[in-house]
Amino acid sequence: MASMASKAHPLFSAIPHFLTWRSLGFRTVCCGRMGFASQSQQQLDPSDTTVARSKVLESFKEEFEIGSRLITLETGKIARFANGAAVLGMEETKVLSTVTAAKGDAVSSDFLPLTVDYQEKQFAQGVIPSTFMRREGAPKERELLCGRIIDRPIRPLFPAGFYHEVQVMASVLSSDGKQDPGVMAANATSAALMLSDIPWGGPIGVIRIGRVDGQFVVNPTMDELNLSDLNLVYACTREKTLMIDVQAREITEKDLEAGLRLAHPEAVKFLEPQIRLAAKAGKLKKEYKLSMLSESTMEKVTKLAEAPIEAVFTDHSYGKFERGEALDNITKDVKKVFEEECDEEGLKVLPKAVDSVRKKVVRRRIIAEGLRVDGRRLDEVRPLYCESRYLPILHGSSIFSRGDTQVLCTVTLGAPGEAQRLDSLVGPPTKRFMLHYSFPPFSINEVGKRGGLNRREVGHGTLAEKALLAVLPSEDEFPYTVRVTSEVMASDGSTSMATVCGGSMALMDAGIPINAHVAGVSVGLVSETDPTTGAIIDYRILTDILGLEDHLGDMDFKIAGTRKGITAIQLDIKPAGIPLDIICESLEHARKGRLQILEHMEREINAPRIKDDENSPRLVILKYTNDALRRLIGPLGASKKKIEEETGARISVGDGTLTILAKNQAVMEKVQEKVDFTLGREIEIGGMYKGVVTSVKEYGAFVEFNGGQQGLLHISELSHDPVSRVSDVVSVGQRISLVCIGQDVRGNIKLSLKATMPRPKAEAQNGNSVPSLDPVSPVGEVSKTLHETPNSTSNTSPVGISVGSEVNSTSSVPSILIRSAEDCDEEEKKSADMNVKLKDTRKSNANSRSERKLKPLAQNGGPSNNEVEVKSPITARNLKLGVRVRAKVYQIRARGLVLDLGEGLRGMYKFEGDNRSNFEVGDELHVQCSSFSTRGIPVMSLVDNE
């Protein structure tokens, strides 16, 4: 390059090497194009002295074991720019948690703007999202719930007055499906806060406890949790409890206390590794500006507002809104004083200062005098009101009120296919029981907007869902999908526990066989602490707390269960921890309050209601072959959708199963009729079916029913009274209900309309009934095809019908019916051709039909040269063309006779002209087999008797 440059221009030789193109990594101009040179080209250049350096990431790791599981805690390798970042691993599952804090002054003056975002991306399990954009969308319910698990224990440990914006982002890096990453993310967040410069009073430890076969399991896998009757998530500092979340199957208070006592020392094992990691790689805590109230401001507000506030809380006649209005007026009066004094600093913190005075007054009255805001005793439950079946048209409904808190709960039953699909990294793929909690703004007399998923609503709804799930019947016993909705009508504390009570009553009102009622109550705490050490020196436990007591107290301990035990718990606290002894003591207070509520609920409804009214839902599960189900679904599900649109029912298809859910019995019958018409069902003699008349003949009508099958409704089966014309009774396209009265091995079906009608009185008294026999052709009926051997089998034998069933009990040979009108038309044509051929021979017989009928058979009359008379019993084997036999008139039809040839074998003879009156049932005739129909039916002709 240098030599060429010197030839092109003398100044190029003076360019330093570090400015040449090759040293910058570009190809030479001679290569024909501009671009970066490859690594091999750079290595081959002897003049290039630049060497790429390797960057070493300094990382720090701690390894420890809890519950026979090896856990790793690492920092420094990824997310290095975050204020604090930690990766926690357990087997093949790894979770990253990062924390950051806003720079500058606090964005708020009265609360901590802490945001916790937990996300499970599908790459963690090697899956591409199934969404249209192939990206993760809005947070799912599980992600919101895991975010709350992280938020609840870390929030109380931020120092008072720290109101800087803090964001926690936890994401799952990899998941083996065995470990729940939610609990791991909570511990990783604690480690990240310890590594950051944000002031925080941690670390904390979060542990999960299960119980399988009566034995507690620390850090259970997802498979172990499926077998466990306890799912306990416990968070704590070294000495105090911060958060409890429980889902159980009626565990007793004693057993739960044992689980809590075990969880605390196991959770503490997470603390030392975090402290060691922070000592190695943690940042010095930064001095943040705290928003604290000045002593002078507090003294002034206390002097102005304490006495009026105490007067309001002493008057127990105040309701929620009246009390709130009185307290607001006090705040306005204090504000006027500050405005007159032009105290700008005091005006900024006035709401918080007044709230501090309220808190001081309420807590002092409760601890010193045992007096609550509404005048109740500490262990007294507010007045209750219960009502089931508030909305009778729904599957189930109830109203539950406790004090001023009121909820309306409804139950909707759905098909199994309507279960909610869960796209979670761990846990079951579907959920068949859902409880959706809604907190509209009007419930607290406020104006607000309704948005998407709300963290608070999701959390409260899930808590009530856990509580009720323990008493639901198994899927085998009750296959419905169940949705419970809770609409908060009025709120003054503990709406989630009211949802548990109302939901339990609504489930019983819907007729769901739940084991027992579930009730819930919220327990509060008011404590007095030592200002120097922070230790609790006195406290009071409050049963069924108001909203104000929740706001001004230390604890909101929600406990739900049955008479036997606890099904769900959620503990939220405001101070930096509560001793476990106080938590365990609160369990007994909650049990007593729960029993009082259960007594009221059981007086209203104490057993699942028997739902036999017209609005009760119906669910059936039918078995079909997969080919039949494919026919029902149709192309792109068109047939299935059409049935659902026409009936309003829900249809779900499984492997060999068809599940139908209808709003009521009328809809169920309608959809079953359509399914039966499309697929058919097992045909049974005596079974009733609905069909459509497809064609009308002189001798009867053909009906399509049961999935496109054809059956013959003979004229004799139209009515108990004589019918002259078929069209007088039925018409093409008419929908009718019929009874199957017979079927043969070929699947030919005989139908009866008169079997669906009541018998005439005279006939019923005599007990006589004319056997209903349907012809296989316009002339008559035979019992077996002649060209069929006795051992032959039919390819169209019906399902669920005994072969050989026949109306005539004297014959053991199955009868045959023609399937369609086309077959009968063909038989008529064949018979017409046969009669033309025999016309000449019949002309020579001058005797009338009556003479032949009345004249006895000649003793010496014998067959001609080409004719053979069979003396032995006639069978399908020895009946051939030209064979003469003695036959009896078995039945007289409109256009011919049905002849009994013996041994249950039938033949047919067609009239010539209108000579039906010349024959009577039982007449003996001498007949000759002149031909066979296309189906092997013997066609007989009369033989002249000499």
Sign of CA dihedral 167, 126, 416, 661: positive
* pLDDT reading at 191 higher than 80: yes
Phi, psi of 690 (to 5 degrees): -110, 135
How far is it, in rounded angstroms, from Cα 620 to Cα 64? Answer: 54
Joined tokens for residue 362: 């309420």
3-state secondary structure (DSSP) of residue 353 = helix
Q: Find which of 36-40, 584-588, 610-614 is predicted with most confidence, using mean pLDDT.
A: 584-588
Tallying the residues shown for the chain, one arrives at 946
- Which letter, b or e, does each residue of 891-903 get, where b requires 16 or more Cβ atoms within 10 Å of its Cβ? bbbebbbbbbbbe
Contact 756, 739 (CB under 8 A): yes
Interhelix angle 580-604/253-268, rounded to 10 degrees, is 150
How far is it, in rounded angstroms, from Cα 207 to Cα 245? Answer: 11
3-state secondary structure (DSSP) of residue 393 = coil
How far is it, in rounded angstroms, from Cα 236 to Cα 265? Answer: 9
- Res 106: pLDDT: 65
Q: Give me the DSSP letters along 843-902.
A: HT--S-HHHHHHSPPPSS----TT-EE--SPP-TTT--TTEEEEEEEEEE-SSEEEEEEE
Give the other-Cβ count within 10 Å of 823's Cβ: 20
What's the mean per-residue pLDDT of the chain? 80
Q: How confident is the model at residue 761 (pLDDT cuts 50, 70, 90)?
A: low
Residues 6+ apart with CB under 8 A from 64: 70, 71, 73, 269, 272, 273
* pLDDT reading at 19 higher than 70: no
749-752 vs 709-714, strand pairing mode: parallel
Contact 575, 512 (CB under 8 A): no
Per residue in 56-114, pLDDT tens? 788 899 999 998 889 999 999 999 999 999 999 998 999 999 999 988 776 556 788 99
* pLDDT reading at 580 higher than 90: yes
Q: Which of 32-46, 543-557, 599-613, 920-934 has the lowest mean pLDDT?
A: 32-46
- Is the pTM for the entire model greater than 0.85? no
Strand ranges (DSSP E) for 271-404? Answer: 384-388, 396-402
3-state helix/strand/coil string of 136-182: CCCCCHHHHHHHHHHHHHHHHHCCCCCCCCEEEEEEEEECCCCCCHH
CA neighbor of 514 nearest in space, from 500, 527, 497, 494: 500
CA neighbor of 920 nearest in space, from 887, 946, 892: 892
Give the other-Cβ count within 10 Å of 67's Cβ: 16
CA neighbor of 438 nearest in space, from 414, 410, 467, 415: 410
Host H or E run for residue 275: helix 271-281
84-90 vs 519-529, strand pairing mode: unpaired
How far is it, in rounded angstroms, from Cα 44 to Cα 482? Answer: 73
* pLDDT reading at 815 higher than 60: no
- Res 466: pLDDT: 96
Task: Please compute the mean of the pLDDT values over residues 400-417 and round it to a whole number.
Answer: 92
3-state secondary structure (DSSP) of residue 661 = strand
- Res 650: pLDDT: 86
Name the more confident of 419 and 832. 419
Name the more confident of 365 and 803. 365
Q: Which of 20-24, 167-171, 191-195, 812-816 has the lowest mean pLDDT?
A: 812-816
Q: How confident is the model at residue 2 (pLDDT cuts 50, 70, 90)?
A: very low
Bond preceding residue 863 cis, omega within 30 of 0: no
- Res 620: pLDDT: 85
Task: Please compute the mean of the pLDDT values over residues 145-164 and round it to a whole number.
Answer: 93
DSSP state of 530: -
Per residue in 898-913, pLDDT tens? 788 876 677 888 776 5
Q: Give me the DSSP letters along 209-223.
A: EEEETTEEEES--HH
* pLDDT reading at 533 higher than 60: yes
How far is it, in rounded angstroms, from Cα 665 to Cα 661? Answer: 10
Give the other-Cβ count within 10 Å of 649's Cβ: 24
3-state secondary structure (DSSP) of residue 813 = coil
* pLDDT reading at 785 higher than 80: no
Task: Please compute the mean of the pLDDT values over residues 180-192 and round it to a whole number.
Answer: 95
3-state helix/strand/coil string of 542-600: EECCCHHHHHHCCEEEEEEECCCCEEEEEEEECCCCECHHHHHHHHHHHHHHHHHHHHH
* pLDDT reading at 522 higher than 90: yes
How far is it, in rounded angstroms, from Cα 774 to Cα 782? Answer: 10
Name the more confident of 779 and 827. 827
What's the CA dihedral at 667, 668, 669, 674 to 10 degrees?
90
How far is it, in rounded angstroms, from Cα 341 to Cα 344? Answer: 9
Q: How confident is the model at residue 775 (pLDDT cuts 50, 70, 90)?
A: very low
Joined tokens for residue 744: 């043969």
CA neighbor of 338 nearest in space, from 351, 328, 327: 351
* pLDDT reading at 760 higher than 80: no
* pLDDT reading at 241 higher than 90: yes
Chain-centre distance for alpha carbon 760: 52
Q: Find which of 8-22, 545-559, 655-669 is predicted with most confidence, using mean pLDDT.
A: 545-559
Task: Please compute the mean of the pLDDT values over residues 883-902 and round it to a whole number.
Answer: 79
Name the more confident of 544 and 103. 544
The half-sphere exposure of 28 on its side-chain side, counting CA atoms within 13 A, is 10
Per residue in 260-311, pLDDT tens? 999 999 999 999 999 999 999 999 998 888 888 888 888 899 999 999 999 9
Q: Which residues pair with 414 in a beta bridge?
A: 481
How far is it, in rounded angstroms, from Cα 492 to Cα 494? Answer: 7
Give the other-Cβ count within 10 Å of 227's Cβ: 12
What Cα–Cα distance (Å) separates residue 586 from each residue in 229, 235, 376?
22, 17, 18
Strand ranges (DSSP E) for 444-505? Answer: 481-490
- Identity of residue 935: R
* pLDDT reading at 218 higher than 50: yes
Phi, psi of 46 (to 5 degrees): -70, -20
What's the CA dihedral at 657, 662, 664, 665 to 10 degrees?
-40
Task: Please compute the mean of the pLDDT values over residues 807-834 and round it to a whole number.
Answer: 41
How far is it, in rounded angstroms, from Cα 354 to Cα 312? Answer: 14
Task: Please compute the mean of the pLDDT values over residues 775-786 and round it to a whole number.
Answer: 32
3-state secondary structure (DSSP) of residue 23 = coil
Radius of gyration of the chain (CA): 45
How far is it, in rounded angstroms, from Cα 808 to Cα 874? Answer: 19
CA neighbor of 689 nearest in space, from 697, 675, 699, 700: 675
Q: Which residues pair with 168 in a beta bridge?
A: 99, 116
Per residue in 67-80, pLDDT tens? 888 999 999 999 99
Percent of the chain with pLDDT over 90: 41
Percent of the chain with pLDDT over 70: 78
Contact 867, 926 (CB under 8 A): no
- Res 161: pLDDT: 86
Sign of CA dihedral 816, 822, 826, 829: positive
Contact 183, 206 (CB under 8 A): yes
Determine if residue 3 is left, alpha or beta; phi over 0 gives left, psi from -120 to 50 gives alpha, anything else beta. Answer: alpha
Per residue in 827-880, pLDDT tens? 445 544 544 443 443 443 333 333 333 333 333 334 444 445 555 567 666 677
